[in-house]
Amino acid sequence: MNTPGNSEVQSSPSGEPGRQAVILAGGLGTRLRSVLPDTPKCMALVAGKPFVSYVIEHLKKQGVDKFIFSLGYMGDVITRYLNDRYPMLDIQYSMEEDPLGTGGAIKHACKLATEKNLLVLNGDTFFSLSITKLLSFHNLNEADCTLSLKPMQNFDRYGVVEMDTDHSITSFKEKHHYDNGLINAGVYALNAAKFIKEALPEKFSFENDYLEKYFAKRKVYGLVQDGYFIDIGVPEDYARAQEELEVKSR
């Protein structure tokens, strides 16, 4: 069900971080066009179900009951599916008339938030992590943003994130081949109340223009979790998801 958003972000009654998630689902999906020419990435069928359904069900199992979908490209396809499949779910839609970049999309979506702290994640990525651990750690440190970090071996598709002994982020390394390292899994706990006040342009990259520029000036932390991770942004991993995701998401 669609619910009106608040322009003023509120804390949950208990004062704890809320169970509200922003799901970024407005990307053009250019790298998947060869196998999905007319489908938003998050709607790609995996074992007979749209990928986004795995993301939603995983979040619901962990107490997330409010969702904000950031939409752009073919957003009507996504809204029709969600309204039909999840008619009783508390869903709001943040629509981009023009692409705003990941940062602009998040900031725009945060205007609909009813919680001080939000989860932010990508609609084309599944990471089997503990939401409770992420939000508890984020709240304990009174962080501006907490990144979910995934240990990986023998990879070149992702950059590496490094952190200090207190888990504060110390650097973001460029993409190239690594034998092992921690990658940004794209699931964040974000202080929305602070983020919407940042002096950032309308269109910007959350990763490049916020995290990488401000990590030393803000309270940005990382929490390592080693759950199942897959990003269907390239055809090879989309094919792999067909065999793995239904089993891994149980």
Residue 28 lies in a domain: yes
Residue 15 lies in a domain: no
Digit-coded pLDDT (tens) for 58-73:
999 999 999 999 999 8
CA separation for the pair 106, 21 (Å, rounded): 11
Count of the separate structural domains present in the chain: 1
So what's the pLDDT on residue 35?
Answer: 65
CA separation for the pair 212, 74 (Å, rounded): 30
Residue 116 lies in a domain: yes
- Which residues of the chain fall below pLDDT 50? 3-15, 17
So what's the pLDDT on residue 158?
Answer: 95
Which residues, in sequence order, are bridge partners of residue 229?
Answer: 127
Residue 201 Cα distances to 107, 133, 190, 196, angstroms: 10, 32, 18, 11
Residue 148 lies in a domain: yes
Residue 30 lies in a domain: yes
CA separation for the pair 160, 171 (Å, rounded): 8
CA separation for the pair 200, 195 (Å, rounded): 9
Residue 227 lies in a domain: yes
Digit-coded pLDDT (tens) for 161-181:
999 999 999 999 999 999 999
Which residues, in sequence order, are bridge partners of residue 119?
Answer: 21, 189
Boundaries of domain holding 30 = 20-248
CA separation for the pair 111, 89 (Å, rounded): 19
Average pLDDT over the chain reads 90
Please give the full DSSP string across 123-135, using - where no structure is assigned: TTEEE---HHHHH
So what's the pLDDT on residue 166?
Answer: 97
So what's the pLDDT on residue 3?
Answer: 47
Find, among 57, 52, 66, 62, the residue nearest to 24 by Cα.
Answer: 52
CATH number at residue 185: 3.90.550.10
